[in-house]
Each structure stands twice: as structure tokens, then as C-alpha cells.
Structure 1
């Protein structure tokens, strides 16, 4: 038996970054696999885009961030500001989601038009085991998660108030540009 989920991905921080990133994510979970397909349009061009699902380890229902989460009033919702409504970064949509290694350079890169497609089939048991190791439960609870797409051009001048440095990756990499609620299809 399979379960299908979708997320309509809408722009975030578009007023500042000058593009309205949007798209769609589809997930199909079977006994053995999780198939993930994400297509994005109008993202910052020629840029690597981190993408993940976020949520609360305790199973609370995550919601997408809006400009209401801009607590420091700098005109941007940065990664830490999303946490109150969206929870923490959980599973990356990179070349190996089941390893749950978030900071890396193996995420999709948009083309000159700001378009990219991401498609992967993940071994579900491996992902669930790693998820349980990190978050204490092997239930991904996709319908309680939100997806974020991150990343702006390195030459975009961001205010000093923008937070979200992860290891060697600065706020240009982690700034959310789009988000969507994952729902059962």
C-alpha cells in the first residue's frame, strides 16, 4: 500500500530577493521506498538550493512561516525565525536523504531561468532508521511537516541581522526562499 503526499510551494522573502520562487513537491511512500519529486520555478538563477522538510520531533503539526515570523523586523524571515512555527530541519533533499547529512554541496542547482527538478527514490527503512536515531521515532509523519527551499545569490546584500549560519555555510545558503505544507493527497 502506498501513501501519496503533495506540497504547494509558495514564495517567502520574495519582496527582498526579487523573485517569487514557487513549485510543487510530491512524495510517494511505499513499504520499501520513498519517492520524492520537487520542481521549482523562479528561484534565484544558477544557485544551489538547499531543500528539506522541517518539523517538530514531538509530532506537533508544523506550519509554514510567513512574514509574521520576522521577529527582528529586518524585512526577511531567516532560518532561526522559522523554527517557532515550522520546527527544526529534519530530512535533506540532496543526493542521499537517508543519510540525513544536512550541510553539504549535493543539492540541486537552478538553471539560468531559475528552474530545477529534483527526483530521487530513497530506501525507506534506512531513512526511518536514521530518523529514529536522530529524532526518536521512525514515523516520518509527512503530513505534519513543511518543506523549505533555501538559497540566494552570493552577491545579494543581506542585512547583518539575518541569521542562519550552518557550519561553513553562510546565510546566503540558508535563507528560505519558498515553503509549503506537506499534505496527504
Structure 2
């Protein structure tokens, strides 16, 4: 059994009015990957997309800082995270093994901004999809970053904040928290 953990801390907190934080745990055990995420103080009563991001070539992904705010609008939006965190790889949704990123199967925060997400993923199915997308079956979890996304649709965002994921806007994709995955 191999366990990985990420301490998830806030991004864009001063702009979104909450301070999201929590933990993500990944436990490889035989043919299963058990994933558990618990978040606190997220924007309440909305769905939060969550994924791990990384580089297909195996480079070590890192959590972004304000240095990634290249357009200096005060927000770190999704496109600005790519140079340090790579691309969206695996969704932490109702079926991670399907690697179906844009859909409505992600956790929803309660009225206190809290949610828990827990799932057992068939490792062989996830690795097959991962190989199809990225050329390798090795998830390299200790080289990945967990992201939590999403702010209320009525939150005023400047036009400079980009979503860049198919037809989903920045309210859905704005990173609100991230954490580096490390081997426990």
C-alpha cells in the first residue's frame, strides 16, 4: 500500500472572500486507488471541480504563486497555472477512471462551504485512460498538484480572468485552492 497526501491551501482568497483549505489523500492498494478529499471554507452551495494537474513528461508540478499572475489583474486564473502546474489530468469526480473533465459530477459544498469526497477507483481502468491521454500508465502522484475550482456565478470577475476549458467560464474554472501531492 502506498499513500500520498496534499495539504490544500487557498488561492485567490482575497478576491473571492473565503479561505478554502483542506486535505486530499490518495491510497494505492492493490488494484484500487482510494481518493479522499475534505474541504472547508469553500464558496458555499456550489459545485467545485477538483482535479490533479501535472506535466505529461513527468516534470515536477508546483503550486502557483502570485508570480504566475502574468496579466497583473490580481487573480491566478487557470491558464496562468499551466507553466508551473501543467495540464488538467484526472478529475476527482463521480468516476475519475473515465477522465471526463467537463461535466457536472463534482462535489457540492454545503451551506458552510464544507464537503467531503471519497471514491474507490479501479486502478487498471484509470491507468488505461491515463495512458491513452498521456502516453504512460504511471500516475506519478508525487509529481502532481491537486486543484479545487469554482466561485459563485454572481461573483464579479474582471474580463481578464479566463476560463479556457471548452464552454466553461472562469466562475467554474477559477482555482480557489491547491496543494502539492507528496508521498506520506
**TM-score bracket for this pair, using the shorter chain length:** over 0.9
TM-score normalised by L of structure 1 = 0.98
**Any conservation in 1 of the 2:150–2:171 contact (CA below 8 Å)?**
yes
- CA distance in 1 between counterparts of 2:19 and 2:66 reads 14
* Equivalent residue number for residue 151 of structure 1: 150
Q: CA deviation at 1:31?
A: 2.3
Q: Which segment drifts farther, 161-170 or 65-74?
A: 161-170
State the 4+ residue runs in structure 1 displaced beyond 4 angstroms. Answer: none
Q: Deviations over 1:13-43 (max 9, x none)?
A: 0010010000000110122000000000000
Q: CA deviation at 1:72?
A: 0.2
Q: Deviations over 1:119-138 (max 9, x none)?
A: 00000000000000000000
* Equivalent residue number for residue 112 of structure 1: 111
Give the CA RMSD over aligned residues.
0.6
Q: Which segment drifts farther, 165-174 or 128-137?
A: 165-174
* Equivalent residue number for residue 33 of structure 1: 32
TM-score normalised by L of structure 2 = 0.99
- CA distance in 2 between counterparts of 1:105 and 1:67 reads 29
Alignment of 1:78-157 (within 5 A): 78-157=77-156
**Where does the alignment leave 5 or more consecutive residues of structure 1 unmatched?**
none
